[in-house]
Amino acid sequence: MWRFVLRTCLFLSLPVVWGAFCYAINRWLISQNRTVIQERMLFMGDSQMRNAVAPRFFRDARNVSQVAEPMVMTRMKLERFLAESERDTIVVGVGAQTLSRYQELKFEDPAVAPELFDRIYPLAGPSELDGLPVDRQAYFRSIIRNMCLYPSMDHRPYVGSFIAAPVRSFIRNEQEMCLRHFGPEGRMGVSDLMAAQVEQIARLCREQGVVLIWVIMPVTRAYYELVPPEQWDFLFACLERTREQGARVIDLARQEIPEGGFRDADHLNEKGAELFTRALKDTFRKGPVQVRTASGFAQ
């Protein structure tokens, strides 16, 4: 009887031992991994930036944005990129939804959270997600799936790229997107936690002598006007604080892009991306730009 119990315990312990072994190996591989991104200029943000800026128009540049990327993940990625290679310019795309509480709720949304955890696991432990409404079960399932099943040489799921959205019929979804981003009548509110990430990004760039440029991404006029004014004001005020510390802010939310250049309310298609990228490059060349703030415009 005791021999049977012992064999059963040994048999049941094998998956635990194997999982612990794989976790240790993968953790070591993550510590040794060096991202093969050597470009000195990085474009970062969520799918707005991913679909909008073609890096081929810039010298030594790369777009590493990903769909549904909250600002807390952008900050974690930036820390890794700055530690791995020398950079000179970081361009981060933002919008009214960037500082909405909607961004926090992604971490407990069963439709979004598992994918976020699959990208963020090399960058963040459980303690680094404190303050977020995290689906802990989904997080630990991601850890087991990515760290405890087998050793892997690729632990860079957080590296995105420019993806040109095909030119198709425009999807008129302004009301739907505003409801998702801000809740009924804008009741979802703003996120102080995401605003803190903006300030941390500015501090990281300032400490390392890296030029930081915030770009408020283009949206359709109908979407812009449906956004609760307090969301825009909160974003402008937050960016203005970083501008006072040396960051540049470029407001292209109302950039003149024909409707044929939009895929939907807040994303560009391939045609719009080329128009926007050229406009952004021209803006960079001009040097100082006007910045819209909660109180108006400032140089």
How is the chain split among helix, strand and coil, in percent rounded to 5? Answer: 55, 10, 35
Q: Whole-model pTM?
A: 0.91
pLDDT confidence of residue 3: 67
Render pLDDT for 245-278 as a digit per residue (tens, 0 to 9): 899 999 999 888 887 899 999 999 999 999 999 9
DSSP 3-state of 212: strand
Q: Which CATH number fits domain 37-111+157-298: 3.40.50.10880, 3.30.2010.10, 3.40.50.1110, 3.80.30.20?
A: 3.40.50.1110
Render pLDDT for 212-225 as a digit per residue (tens, 0 to 9): 999 999 999 999 99
3-state secondary structure labels for all residues of 216-257: ECCCCHHHHHHCCHHHHHHHHHHHHHHHCCCCEEEECCCCCC
Q: Which of 206, 214, 175, 252 is nearest to 71 (CA)?
A: 214
Q: Are 202 and 82 in contact (CB under 8 A)?
A: no
Q: Are 203 and 193 in contact (CB under 8 A)?
A: no
Beta strands in 111-226 (DSSP E): 211-216
